[in-house]
Amino acid sequence: MVRSAQVGFTYLTNWATLRWEKYNADPLNKPSWRLQAEPVAYALFSAVFGTQAVVQAKCLALLLQAPGAFGDWLIWVTLLGWLFFVWIWLSRLNSALGRYNALFIIPMFQAAYIFLAIVNGGIFCQGE
């Protein structure tokens, strides 16, 4: 029983791997919905990092108001978090410019960034 399950799983994974390699070998082989949905999903996922950088910057600004803030460990962790999210956001933007048409992806990045910044700011600043 176990042996037949192993054989079946091996066959299934080999079949899926071959299909995946064949599908990704030719970029023109993709269905039309994927050609449109992939850059949108890429921009939305990337905007999550960009808007998190906005929240980190807001936290950093609030922490800098305290006297002697640079002696606290939290400000350094927040600064490193902000640098990390800005780096991810900019590297994904650079990668998107190489992958997709710039006339489509730049407005998509900006729209996703603005939308998610509004949502993220509404969640973060709810008590203010």
Report the pLDDT value the prediction gives residue 2, as an integer from 0 to 100. 47
Instruction: Give the start-to-end residue ranges of the domains of the chain.
Output: 42-128
Question: Is residue 16 scored above 70 in pLDDT?
Answer: no
Give the per-residue SS3 of 43-57: HHHHHHHHHHHHHHH
| Confidence bin at 79 (pLDDT 50/70/90) | very high
Q: What is the pLDDT of residues 111-123, one digit of tens each?
A: 999 999 888 888 8
Average pLDDT, the chain: 80
Tell me the pTM. 0.69
* Residue among 42, 55, 49 at smallest CA distance from 98: 42
Question: Is residue 81 scored above 90 in pLDDT?
Answer: yes
